[in-house]
A and B are shown apart, each in its own frame.
Chain A
């Protein structure tokens, strides 16, 4: 685009500022809108935004540079991003993307010369039960096949606005196959808040404590302990944050909770606000789930009308609380609670040093509770019923139920709610998985489980999970599973600390080398040591877990890599003949003399 087109920038951006205001915390939200208007962030906009928000230009640029859905250069009128989770690949993502690029005469990662289109991969979009999936200008496309891509190609060539495309392309199903206490029994909006007010705040907190509820994001910290600490921490304001940055590949249960059980989640946040004394809450919605925003705004509006949000909730004087939706912009690291808070403040999502923890120094340095979507849903149910009803399900240290997002090789991929303690083999029967070879529990940051371990149970005592469960049958190449994870972490590392920034890259390079057939026994030892460095020296959970799939593969699936190794002790990753490939491409030669013997 020509710079003269930006002479109207003030006029074009004034509605954006009218909507978001002029606080520095709104920077990321403003940038997302600017990206949508221009399909990139023009330099002129950076200057304008920096002036209006009273921040330095370089701070604005650093934020643009951090998030994958923002860019300095145009990504075309249409940007198609194929979800790159292992489940999408198993459903043919790579072939489909190649097909589409060929059809559109385009190379992945590049913008067409007429600025019409760009095609690229993106981290898991959370549609693993209905993939292969993609995003077009931020809107989710599901169940992609050649036929659908032909239609999409035509729509793009004819320059049809995405808003006019056939609805069936964007259909997202809940696919709920098994329900327990959360998904089974519908709740009346407001019932849990009413029960909380009747019981009293202290008694409700005691009830949550008695329920032994642990955070559903994976770490499993006691919810009552977290809330008690936050409640007693001094501050000028307290905040409630719902972590809906569901970025762990293979996880999509929060998407379903927000789509069909939003009241349950928002009600849990409202109860939390009453307990810790917050008047402001945020729902941090991952950028990939932007399509849910309108629906969620409607639910919020209904709740305000019904007196369940806003001033004097349910008529109780002084019970004021409201919730704002904050969009993410493509960064897995923002699922880490302190990185999420940085992002909420409009900055790059780099995890903070801890201590201090968010319960004492969170959003704007004030006491903040950050909890997973499912945790808030559990709180609603506990408040509405009681702790005994909740602890009737589950195991000694893992009370209640867990919602699993099941995908991969099974007949019925989707959402399954189980009591904690369910064994893997029981799950296989329900979802129709046969000839199972391996299971990835809790995504790339979780555990890769082999068939010798299928009696293991989903619970904090054995296999903790944030909800992802990906099934691989005997046909699958486990090396590809580890390779997919290694690439994912190398792409998603925030870059703050040395071990993760460099370690994830080294890990990726070595896995690539093995996959290319140049690996040796030496490389296996290298992978183990780099994994050890990342696990023990990294700044946050991303680095601590970035080697999990690779180490599990090395320990449990020797067949996945043994026959790919060269017998030598050492083999350089550098290959003379491969290095000439670029030169061959430029000169158009492929004869014998253009190759090393």
Chain B
């Protein structure tokens, strides 16, 4: 007998071992998320994918699906709270969409649009963060890092290189590079690495590709992130 739960009233079936997020994506239902990517081990840090399961908030990308769960996802209350989280991500870093090469391809920006974020709302932190241009093919711009650890996971689990790691604590948490100099140029990071292509924002940018796809022709310029991710994330 197949197992299922209801998500905003819709019956969704799942297999044992699937998370709520897995099952939702398989069924083509979008739950907002930034640190999650179905190709990697779930991380559960951005908290955008929190859903309400039988009255309790749970992180859908790490929570195993359970038979008979009654889940709320696309409610105005949850989306308001998710918007506040996106605003928090905006103000803790230095995100300047109009001058960012990732604009239009950026999941943070697209999620903000989806959640109808009109302003950062909170006072900007303006943290001093570094840009590392030492690598011949790749920029590492920590101003845009949202600590999702997708590059950490990709480099460790797919590329087998272990180039990235999160260091520090609290608001001082930051991405570091595994080289004695701390510079990306002193690692064996390659443009063909999976980790070079998983950043949901513009923190990891491939050089000499700037504006090859003009603004207006980018992924989220035509479709909202919910339409695209429900289709493509679960290849």
Q: Is the CB of A495 within 8 A of B64?
A: no
Q: Is the CB of A353 within 8 A of B44?
A: yes
Contact with A along B114-125 (1 / 0, CB 8 A): 000000001101
B180 within 8 A of A: yes
Number of interface residues of B (CB under 8 A): 37
A496: chain B residues at CB < 8 Å are: 45, 173
Interface residues of B in 173-218 (CB under 8 A from A): 173, 176-178, 180
- The majority secondary structure among interface residues of chain A is helix
A503: chain B residues at CB < 8 Å are: 88
Given A57-B178, A62-B166, answer yes or no on A501-B173 (Cβ-Cβ < 8 Å).
yes
A323 within 8 A of B: no
B42 within 8 A of A: yes
Q: Is the CB of B45 within 8 A of A57?
A: no
Contact with B along A499-542 (1 / 0, CB 8 A): 10111111001000000000000000000011011001111000
Q: Is the CB of A499 within 8 A of B85?
A: yes
Q: Is the CB of A537 within 8 A of B165?
A: no
Q: Is the CB of A57 within 8 A of B180?
A: yes
Given A62-B176, A502-B89, A502-B91, answer yes or no on A490-B171 (Cβ-Cβ < 8 Å).
yes
Rounded to whole angstroms, the CA-CA distance of A513 and B31 in the bound complex is 36
Contact of A66 among B42, B59, B84, B168 (CB under 8 A): B168
Contact of B42 among A348, A353, A490, A574 (CB under 8 A): A353
Contact of A498 among B42, B89, B169, B176 (CB under 8 A): B89
A353: chain B residues at CB < 8 Å are: 42, 44, 59, 62
Q: Is the CB of A493 within 8 A of B171?
A: yes
A62: chain B residues at CB < 8 Å are: 165-168, 176
Contact of B169 among A58, A66, A505, A533 (CB under 8 A): A66
Contact of A497 among B42, B47, B123, B167 (CB under 8 A): B47
Rounded to whole angstroms, the CA-CA distance of A43 and B181 in the bound complex is 11
- Look across to chain A and name the residue whose beta carbon is closest to the beta carbon of B87: A502
Q: Is the CB of A495 within 8 A of B47?
A: no
Q: Is the CB of A529 within 8 A of B170?
A: no
A491 within 8 A of B: yes
A502: chain B residues at CB < 8 Å are: 88-89, 91-92, 171
B171: chain A residues at CB < 8 Å are: 490, 493, 495, 501-502, 504-505
A355 within 8 A of B: yes
- Look across to chain A and name the residue whose beta carbon is closest to the beta carbon of B166: A62
Closest beta carbon of chain A to B37's beta carbon, Å: 16
Given A498-B45, A509-B123, A533-B85, answer yes or no on A504-B165 (Cβ-Cβ < 8 Å).
no
Given A66-B167, A499-B47, A502-B91, answer yes or no on A537-B173 (Cβ-Cβ < 8 Å).
no
A47: chain B residues at CB < 8 Å are: 180
Contact of B178 among A58, A491, A574 (CB under 8 A): A58
Closest beta carbon of chain B to A354's beta carbon, Å: 8
- Look across to chain A and name the residue whose beta carbon is closest to the beta carbon of B149: A496
Q: Is the CB of B88 within 8 A of A331?
A: no
Given A498-B46, A501-B92, answer yes or no on A331-B169 (Cβ-Cβ < 8 Å).
yes
User: 13 extra interchain contacts, Cβ-Cβ under 8 A, other than A65-B167, A537-B47?
Assistant: A43-B180, A57-B178, A58-B165, A61-B167, A62-B166, A348-B169, A494-B169, A494-B170, A495-B147, A498-B46, A498-B89, A504-B171, A533-B88
30 A-B residue contacts at CB 8 Å? Answer: A43-B180, A47-B180, A58-B162, A58-B165, A61-B165, A61-B167, A61-B176, A62-B165, A62-B176, A67-B169, A353-B59, A355-B63, A490-B171, A494-B173, A495-B147, A495-B169, A495-B172, A497-B44, A498-B45, A498-B46, A498-B48, A499-B85, A504-B170, A506-B88, A506-B122, A536-B57, A536-B81, A538-B47, A539-B44, A539-B59
In the A-B complex, the 10 residue pairs with the smallest Cβ-Cβ separation, listed nearest first, are A495-B173, A502-B88, A58-B178, A62-B167, A353-B62, A493-B170, A65-B167, A495-B170, A58-B165, A65-B168
Interface residues of A (CB under 8 A from B): 43, 47, 56-59, 61-62, 65-68, 331, 348, 353, 355, 490-499, 501-506, 509, 529-530, 532-533, 536-539, 573-574
